[in-house]
Structure 1
Amino acid sequence: MKEAKPLPAYLATRYQGWKATTYSENKAWYRRLAEEGQRPRAMIISCCDSRVHVTAIFEADQGEFFIHRNIANLVPPHKPDGQQHGTSAALEYAVTALKVANIVIMGHSSCGGVQGCHDMCSGEAPELEKESSFVGRWMDILRPGYEKVKDIDDRTERLRALEQQAILTSLENLMTFPFVVEAVESEKLSLHGVWNDIANGELLCYDPKTETFVPV
């Protein structure tokens, strides 16, 4: 692979710093993780956005979370068609092999993927309507959510509502996977939806009783 290049200097330097401090001070813990394998208590499905730092928000240690990230923290519907499905594969492994006790869908404010869906569905981003757009076809998952919020007058409120619809859509789609349904009904698995406001650090959790997002 002649196009591959050495690691950027700043990343190499940061690695050396980590190896000399964090790793060096916790060698026994890392060796235990390597020898005993992972036993994460939760799977977190979050956005690829670089501002969303799941392990920092929950102060998690290595081995505690099985994390899957994609554009706009979406879970597609169950569709065993022989094609490649990264999110569905990660979900299957987490539930059937790792047997996580919790799945958390974590959305966030100012989500570029959600805004892309909004603009595509409202006719402002025709480039995303093209069949060749990977982002556009992925954001098709959220089209039903857009239909639920499109009549909100204020754009800022509409986008926030759509960010939260992305969470709800993913929670609903989780329950189209037979192995998720089985684990939930046997009370071996719990599903959760949270939304993080990047600017003020607020975390809201979906409350099914009130059908609203409330502060944690």
Structure 2
Amino acid sequence: MPFSSKPSEPIRQLLAGIKAFRARYYERRSDNMRQLVTEGQHPEVLLIGCSDSRVDPALLTMAEPGELFVVRNVANLVPPYQPDGAYHGTSAAIEYAVKSLNVSEIIVLGHAQCGGIKGLIRLRAGQVSDDDFISPWVSIAGSALDPYVGPEGTEKGRADAEKLQQTPEIIERAAVRASVDNLMTFPFVRERVEAGTLNIHGWWFDLGLGEMWAINPATSLFQPVD
């Protein structure tokens, strides 16, 4: 069995954190947690974030238990609607949040220094990858590169992509827009957006400065959030 009998220091720290969480929410604020148990969850917000350990949505937003329904994946990507019977974890989470939980807000949260987006840029620059899952996954955001990079497989495309490795935030933000567009390919999302019962937001977090940027619906450009 692949289990260790002696917890490592990282595991001990996590267990200590669980004890602190239990003391804060179950001993001091037991009514709130009891209500979440007996009445179920009713979050108003679905947040699609990156798996990056530096950008935890609940910590970043100071959200309380029950306030956010979160799905995280490499590069905070939303795939297009594709009901083909295959495994679609992110799409399943979107469907559950919208159709079962009736969330009224969806946020796609990107961030600076995203390893997944850097990998996407490297692929367009012609660098070979030997991974099994990451490259096909980040290719979902391939359209984010198109306005900035020449045709794939060309010298211009590779040269443009190499330059973008110095300014990946351009593609990080463009990938958020691509995911917002992909959300609208889900019929149940589009239906609610057009009915005015669901709003979609594109956010990008500057990891170095701690600033949040959001897409301005009027201009489709990212602007700092006050």
SS in 2 for 1:147: coil
Query: Which among 190, 200, 209 is matched to residue 181 of structure 1?
Result: 190
SS in 1 for 2:107: strand
- Unaligned ranges ≥5, structure 2: 150-159
Match of 1:103 in 2: 106
Match of 1:190 in 2: 199
Q: CA deviation at 1:165?
A: 1.2
Asked whether the 8 Å contact 2:79–2:182 carries over to 1, the reply is yes
Alignment of 1:86-165 (within 5 A): 86-124=89-127, 126-128=128-130, 133-150=132-149, 151=160, 153=163, 155-157=165-167, 159-165=168-174
134-143 or 21-30, larger mean C-alpha shift = 21-30
SS in 2 for 1:34: helix
Matched, 1:77 2:76: no
Matched, 1:48 2:57: no
Alignment of 1:4-15 (within 5 A): 4-5=3-4, 8-15=11-18
Specify the code of the residue in structure 2 equivalent to 1:46.
G
* Structure 1 length-normalised TM: 0.91
Distance 1:134 1:154 in 2: 23
- Judging changes above 3 Å, is the alpha-carbon distance between structure 1 residues 79 and 156 closer, same or farther for their aligned structure 2 residues? same
SS in 2 for 1:139: helix
Specify the code of the residue in structure 1 equivalent to 2:198.
L
Specify the code of the residue in structure 1 equivalent to 2:28.
E
Match of 2:35 in 1: 32
Asked whether the 8 Å contact 2:99–2:188 carries over to 1, the reply is yes
Q: How many residues align?
A: 210
Distance 2:179 2:24 in 1: 39
Specify the code of the residue in structure 1 equivalent to 2:69.
F
Distance 1:21 1:37 in 2: 20
Match of 2:215 in 1: 206
Q: CA deviation at 1:16?
A: 2.0
Distance 1:207 1:107 in 2: 15
Q: CA deviation at 1:199?
A: 1.2
Distance 1:19 1:79 in 2: 40
Q: CA deviation at 1:154?
A: 5.6
Distance 1:53 1:139 in 2: 20
SS in 2 for 1:106: strand
* Structure 2 length-normalised TM: 0.87
Distance 1:149 1:133 in 2: 27
Pairwise CA RMSD: 1.6
Distance 1:29 1:172 in 2: 36
| 1:125-168 Cα shifts (integer Å, max 9, x gaps) | x115xxx62000101101111122224856433x1111001101
Percent identity, please: 38
- Judging changes above 3 Å, is the alpha-carbon distance between structure 1 residues 79 and 46 closer, same or farther for their aligned structure 2 residues? same
